[in-house]
C-alpha cells in the first residue's frame, strides 16, 4: 500500500515542463472560449471537517456559466433536488473545483478557486435575459486554470456514437429509486418523467425561448 509521497512519486516519472507550466492563475482567451462553448460542468466541494467530498453536475445552454473577468466566473443556480449539498458545503468551506466539458471535444478545463453565494440583484440580474432569474449565483474567484489533455475522454470514447448505452440497459430512474428506498409501485414512467423535466427546463429557460 502506498502511504507516503515518496512511495507515490517512485511509481511515476517526473511531470514534464509543459504539464507544469500550462497551469494558469487566470482565465486566458482559450479558457474563456472553452467556458463559452461548454453546456456542462461538474462542481466539486467539501464541507466541515470529516464530511465526504461532493461532486455535482450542472448544465445549461452553451455559455450558461459567465466569465465576468479573467479571475471570476459566475454560475447561476438552477432547480434541483433541494438537498443543497453543494451550496451548504460552500458556506462551510469556500474551496471549489469545476470541470468543464464541451460535446465533441476530448480536452477538458479544470478550474480551482474559492466561491461565494451571491443573491444581490446585480448578480442574479445578469442572467435574466437568458433564463428566469436564479435565486442565487455562485461567484468563483479563479486561483488555478488547467486544460487537461484528451486521453481520459479518448479512453472512455465518451462522444462516440458507438459507445452510447441504450437507456433500457438500466431500470428507469423511478424504478431504481423506488427499489432503493423500498417505496410502493412506480407511478410514473420514464417517458412521463422526461416530459415533466422537459417542461420544467422549458419554463426555466422561458426568457431565452422568447
Task: Please state the domain extents for the chain.
Answer: 21-156, 165-209
Under the banding of pLDDT at 50, 70 and 90, the label for residue 80 is confident
Task: Please say whether the beta carbons of 43 and 168 come within 8 A.
Answer: no
**Per-residue model confidence as pLDDT tens digits over 144-161:** 999 999 999 999 999 999
What global pTM score does this model have?
A: 0.93
CATH for 21-156?
Answer: 2.30.110.10
Residues in contact with 131: Cβ distance below 8 Å, sequence separation at least 6, in sequence order: 60, 76, 204, 205, 206, 207, 208
Position 50 scores a pLDDT of 74
Please state the separation of Cα 25 from the chain's center in Å: 20
List, edge to edge, every strand of the sheet that includes 54-59: 54-59, 40-45, 95-101, 108-118, 137-148, 72-76, 66-69
d(Cα 166, Cα 173) in Å, to the nearest integer? 14
Amino acid at each position: 500500500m502506498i502511504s507516503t509521497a515518496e512511495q507515490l512519486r517512485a511509481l511515476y516519472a517526473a511531470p514534464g515542463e509543459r504539464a507544469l507550466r500550462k497551469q494558469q492563475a487566470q482565465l486566458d482567451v482559450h479558457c474563456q472560449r472553452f467556458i463559452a462553448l461548454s453546456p456542462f460542468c461538474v462542481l466539486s466541494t467539501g464541507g466541515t471537517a470529516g464530511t465526504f467530498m461532493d461532486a455535482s453536475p450542472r448544465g445549461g445552454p452553451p455559455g450558461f456559466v459567465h466569465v465576468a473577468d479573467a479571475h471570476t466566473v459566475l454560475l447561476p443556480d438552477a432547480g434541483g433536488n433541494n438537498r443543497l449539498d453543494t451550496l451548504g458545503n460552500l458556506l462551510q468551506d469556500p474551496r471549489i473545483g469545476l470541470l468543464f466539458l464541451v460535446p465533441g471535444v476530448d480536452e477538458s478545463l479544470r478550474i480551482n478557486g474559492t466561491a461565494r453565494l451571491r443573491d444581490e440583484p446585480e448578480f442574479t440580474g445578469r442572467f435574466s435575459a437568458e433564463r428566469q432569474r436564479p435565486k442565487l449565483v455562485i461567484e468563483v474567484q479563479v486561483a488555478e486554470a488547467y486544460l487537461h489533455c484528451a486521453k481520459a475522454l479518448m479512453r472512455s470514447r465518451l462522444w462516440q456514437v458507438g459507445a452510447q448505452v441504450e437507456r433500457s440497459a438500466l431500470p428507469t430512474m423511478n424504478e431504481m429509486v423506488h427499489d432503493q428506498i423500498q417505496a410502493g409501485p412506480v407511478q410514473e414512467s420514464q417517458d412521463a418523467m422526461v416530459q415533466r423535466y422537459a417542461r420544467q427546463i422549458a419554463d426555466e429557460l422561458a426568457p431565452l425561448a422568447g
